[in-house]
Amino acid sequence: MRLTIALIACVALTACAGGRVGLRDLSTNGAGPDEFSVLPRNPLEIPENLNALPPPTPGGSNRADRYPIGEGIAALGGNPAAAFAGGIPAQDQALVSAAARFGVPTDIRATVAEEDAAFRGRRGNFTSGLFGGDRYFSAYAPQSLDARAELTRFRQAGVRTPSAPPAGQ
Protein backbone atom coordinates (compact mmCIF):
# COMPACT_ATOMS: atom_id res chain seq x y z
CA MET A 1 0.00 0.00 0.00
CA ARG A 2 2.83 2.42 0.86
CA LEU A 3 4.53 1.64 -2.44
CA THR A 4 1.36 2.49 -4.34
CA ILE A 5 0.96 5.81 -2.49
CA ALA A 6 4.63 6.67 -3.09
CA LEU A 7 4.25 5.85 -6.80
CA ILE A 8 1.11 8.00 -7.09
CA ALA A 9 2.90 10.86 -5.31
CA CYS A 10 5.84 10.60 -7.74
CA VAL A 11 3.52 10.64 -10.75
CA ALA A 12 1.65 13.64 -9.32
CA LEU A 13 4.90 15.54 -8.79
CA THR A 14 6.00 14.72 -12.32
CA ALA A 15 2.74 16.13 -13.68
CA CYS A 16 3.54 19.44 -11.96
CA ALA A 17 6.84 19.88 -13.82
CA GLY A 18 6.04 23.24 -15.44
CA GLY A 19 5.56 23.52 -19.20
CA ARG A 20 7.71 22.60 -22.14
CA VAL A 21 11.34 23.45 -21.46
CA GLY A 22 12.76 22.41 -24.81
CA LEU A 23 16.05 20.71 -25.48
CA ARG A 24 18.27 23.19 -23.71
CA ASP A 25 17.10 25.56 -21.01
CA LEU A 26 19.20 28.68 -21.52
CA SER A 27 17.16 30.94 -19.31
CA THR A 28 18.61 32.51 -16.24
CA ASN A 29 17.02 33.35 -12.94
CA GLY A 30 19.42 36.20 -12.25
CA ALA A 31 18.91 39.86 -12.99
CA GLY A 32 22.27 40.17 -14.78
CA PRO A 33 22.86 40.83 -18.46
CA ASP A 34 21.98 38.25 -21.09
CA GLU A 35 25.32 36.98 -22.38
CA PHE A 36 23.73 35.85 -25.63
CA SER A 37 22.63 39.37 -26.53
CA VAL A 38 26.12 40.86 -26.21
CA LEU A 39 27.78 41.03 -29.61
CA PRO A 40 31.46 41.70 -30.13
CA ARG A 41 32.27 44.70 -32.27
CA ASN A 42 35.07 45.36 -34.71
CA PRO A 43 37.57 47.95 -33.51
CA LEU A 44 36.75 51.54 -34.39
CA GLU A 45 38.75 53.01 -37.24
CA ILE A 46 39.68 56.67 -37.33
CA PRO A 47 40.69 57.80 -40.83
CA GLU A 48 43.60 60.14 -41.48
CA ASN A 49 41.25 62.77 -42.88
CA LEU A 50 37.96 63.19 -41.02
CA ASN A 51 36.47 64.91 -44.08
CA ALA A 52 36.73 61.56 -45.87
CA LEU A 53 34.15 59.91 -43.63
CA PRO A 54 31.28 58.36 -45.59
CA PRO A 55 27.87 59.94 -45.07
CA PRO A 56 25.59 58.04 -42.67
CA THR A 57 23.10 55.65 -44.23
CA PRO A 58 19.95 55.31 -42.10
CA GLY A 59 19.03 51.65 -41.84
CA GLY A 60 22.38 50.63 -43.32
CA SER A 61 25.11 48.61 -41.71
CA ASN A 62 27.56 49.97 -39.20
CA ARG A 63 31.24 49.58 -40.06
CA ALA A 64 31.94 48.47 -36.48
CA ASP A 65 29.34 45.68 -36.67
CA ARG A 66 30.57 42.18 -37.37
CA TYR A 67 29.28 40.29 -40.38
CA PRO A 68 29.24 36.60 -39.41
CA ILE A 69 28.34 35.31 -42.87
CA GLY A 70 31.29 37.08 -44.46
CA GLU A 71 33.59 35.95 -41.63
CA GLY A 72 32.45 32.36 -42.13
CA ILE A 73 33.05 32.57 -45.88
CA ALA A 74 36.55 33.96 -45.26
CA ALA A 75 37.29 31.23 -42.68
CA LEU A 76 36.38 28.59 -45.28
CA GLY A 77 38.66 30.16 -47.87
CA GLY A 78 36.05 32.08 -49.85
CA ASN A 79 35.71 35.69 -50.82
CA PRO A 80 33.66 37.55 -48.20
CA ALA A 81 33.00 40.39 -50.65
CA ALA A 82 30.87 37.94 -52.66
CA ALA A 83 28.54 37.64 -49.67
CA PHE A 84 27.67 41.33 -49.93
CA ALA A 85 26.90 41.06 -53.64
CA GLY A 86 23.86 38.90 -52.92
CA GLY A 87 22.92 35.72 -54.69
CA ILE A 88 25.16 32.72 -55.22
CA PRO A 89 28.64 33.26 -56.68
CA ALA A 90 29.24 31.60 -60.06
CA GLN A 91 31.90 29.25 -58.69
CA ASP A 92 29.39 27.88 -56.14
CA GLN A 93 26.48 27.29 -58.52
CA ALA A 94 27.42 23.65 -59.18
CA LEU A 95 27.67 22.92 -55.45
CA VAL A 96 24.30 24.54 -54.71
CA SER A 97 22.67 22.70 -57.61
CA ALA A 98 24.04 19.36 -56.42
CA ALA A 99 22.89 20.01 -52.85
CA ALA A 100 19.39 20.99 -54.04
CA ARG A 101 18.95 18.22 -56.62
CA PHE A 102 16.25 16.45 -54.56
CA GLY A 103 14.45 19.67 -53.65
CA VAL A 104 14.85 22.15 -50.85
CA PRO A 105 12.08 22.30 -48.27
CA THR A 106 11.31 25.86 -47.23
CA ASP A 107 10.23 24.89 -43.71
CA ILE A 108 13.20 22.66 -42.84
CA ARG A 109 13.86 24.30 -39.46
CA ALA A 110 10.26 23.80 -38.30
CA THR A 111 10.28 20.22 -39.60
CA VAL A 112 13.51 19.36 -37.80
CA ALA A 113 12.26 20.99 -34.58
CA GLU A 114 9.02 18.96 -34.71
CA GLU A 115 10.86 15.70 -35.44
CA ASP A 116 13.37 16.38 -32.66
CA ALA A 117 10.61 17.14 -30.14
CA ALA A 118 8.81 13.93 -31.13
CA PHE A 119 12.06 11.92 -30.82
CA ARG A 120 12.83 13.35 -27.39
CA GLY A 121 9.24 12.68 -26.34
CA ARG A 122 9.63 9.02 -27.29
CA ARG A 123 13.06 8.79 -25.67
CA GLY A 124 12.19 10.76 -22.54
CA ASN A 125 12.47 8.87 -19.31
CA PHE A 126 10.56 9.01 -16.08
CA THR A 127 13.32 10.68 -14.09
CA SER A 128 13.74 13.57 -16.54
CA GLY A 129 10.21 14.73 -15.71
CA LEU A 130 10.66 14.06 -12.01
CA PHE A 131 13.99 15.81 -11.53
CA GLY A 132 13.93 18.21 -14.49
CA GLY A 133 17.22 19.10 -16.07
CA ASP A 134 18.70 18.71 -19.50
CA ARG A 135 17.40 15.72 -21.46
CA TYR A 136 19.72 16.10 -24.44
CA PHE A 137 22.34 13.54 -23.45
CA SER A 138 19.87 10.97 -22.16
CA ALA A 139 17.70 11.21 -25.30
CA TYR A 140 20.60 10.93 -27.74
CA ALA A 141 22.76 8.50 -25.75
CA PRO A 142 22.05 5.53 -28.11
CA GLN A 143 23.28 7.63 -31.05
CA SER A 144 26.46 8.87 -29.38
CA LEU A 145 29.86 7.64 -30.45
CA ASP A 146 32.45 6.33 -28.01
CA ALA A 147 35.59 8.03 -29.30
CA ARG A 148 37.95 5.71 -27.41
CA ALA A 149 36.26 2.55 -28.71
CA GLU A 150 36.30 3.87 -32.28
CA LEU A 151 39.97 4.81 -31.99
CA THR A 152 40.77 1.30 -30.81
CA ARG A 153 38.65 -0.27 -33.56
CA PHE A 154 40.36 1.77 -36.27
CA ARG A 155 43.82 1.03 -34.91
CA GLN A 156 43.07 -2.70 -34.78
CA ALA A 157 41.87 -2.52 -38.38
CA GLY A 158 45.23 -1.03 -39.39
CA VAL A 159 43.99 2.48 -40.13
CA ARG A 160 46.57 5.16 -39.39
CA THR A 161 45.12 7.43 -36.73
CA PRO A 162 46.44 10.56 -35.07
CA SER A 163 47.51 10.41 -31.50
CA ALA A 164 44.83 10.87 -28.89
CA PRO A 165 44.96 12.46 -25.45
CA PRO A 166 45.61 10.13 -22.56
CA ALA A 167 42.62 8.35 -21.06
CA GLY A 168 40.66 10.42 -18.58
CA GLN A 169 41.17 13.74 -20.38
Q: What pLDDT was estimated at residue 78?
A: 77
What span, in angstroms and rounded, lies between the C-alpha atoms of 73 and 80? 6
The CA dihedral of 69, 70, 75, 81, to the nearest 10 degrees, is: 150
pTM for the structure as a whole: 0.35
Q: What is the phi-psi region of residue 56: left when phi exceeds 0, alpha when psi lies from -120 to 50, beta otherwise? A: beta
What span, in angstroms and rounded, lies between the C-alpha atoms of 39 and 32? 16
What span, in angstroms and rounded, lies between the C-alpha atoms of 45 and 52? 12
First to last CA, the chain: 48
Q: What pLDDT was estimated at residue 157?
A: 94
Count how many residues are written for the chain: 169
Q: How confident is the model at residue 38 (pLDDT cuts 50, 70, 90)?
A: low
- pLDDT of 153 over the 70 cut: yes
Q: What pLDDT was estimated at residue 35?
A: 64
